[in-house]
Structure 1
Amino acid sequence: MIEYPAQADAPHSHLPFSPCTRFGDLIFVSGQASVDSAGAIVTDTFEGEVRRSIDNLRRVLESAGSGLQYVVQTRNYVRDPADVAAFNRIYPEYFRPPFPARTTITNCLPEVLKYEIECVAVMPPALR
């Protein structure tokens, strides 16, 4: 059975997608960008947008009963290839070795966004 965990304090979007879905022990989180809880884009420096996006990802995961430490794969979208070095510096602050599987794509976002992240995670062992 596919579940759509409630996201009381997680950011919501006016676009037609679920922030996350859960199937068994797997959690799939839609792309999280630098947005506020109502889904309005918050422009910032690249670093600020990365941090806000990953914090939004964390909030969505927690609302589903998981957390960043249970992420098994991330997909990262960086608008400007020149920002990849900064991204590689910030990423280990949130994800620890052994790191999740990761894909990073550049030149792929609209002008209004500098960064976006999506992931696949699992439920914590105690909740399986």
Structure 2
Amino acid sequence: MKVIETSKAPGAIGPYSQGFEVNGFVFTSGQIPVDPSTGNVPEGISAQAEWSCKNVGAILEAAGVGFENVVKTTCFLADMGDFAAFNEVYAKYFVSKPARSCVAVKALPKGVLCEIEAIAEK
């Protein structure tokens, strides 16, 4: 197993890694919409979805893969009313349409509106 770390995505805010590479797959931890250079969270679901996607992308890049290698994502929304706006942004990044689960949750870290985790083939 190999730990994946990059300064281009937010550092872990708990006892976990940004990602792992194991047996030809890359597993990212859930990425919330935090700008890693400032620690700020933008307003609104569209801007937050952009940052969550960018942060997943940074971890994938650090592992030597891209969005086209993603085979499965899990998406968490604080409000299922944001589903359409979230999908609009998500579709720009995950163009290969990987398998996906998308669920509404009661709350997310730092009060954000979305979080994305991914599994990619190496």
The TM-score normalised by the length of structure 2 is 0.89
2:30 alignment counterpart: 31
Please provide the CA RMSD for this pair.
1.8
- Compare CA radii of gyration and give the structure with the larger one: 1
| 1:82 has 2:81 as partner | yes
CA distance in 1: counterparts of 2:85 and 2:115, whole angstroms:
14
Runs of 4+, deviation exceeding 4 Å = none
- The alpha-carbon distance between structure 1 residues 22 and 39, as it changes in their structure 2 partners (threshold 3 A), is farther
Task: Structure 1: state its 5+ residue gaps.
Answer: 124-128
Instruction: Give me the TM-score of the superposition, normalised by structure 1.
Output: 0.85
- Deviations 1:16-61, CA, capped at 9 Å, x for gaps: 1100000021000000001132683514211000000100000011
How many aligned residue pairs are there?
121
Q: Which residue of the partner structure matches residue 99 of structure 2?
A: 101
How many angstroms apart in 2 are the aligned matches of 1:28 and 1:89?
24
Give, in whole Å, the separation in 2 of the partners of 1:49 and 1:43: 6
Match of residue 53 from structure 2: 54
**Aligned in 2, Cα 1:39/1:29: closer, same or farther, shift over 3 Å?**
farther
**Percent same amino acid among aligned pairs?**
31
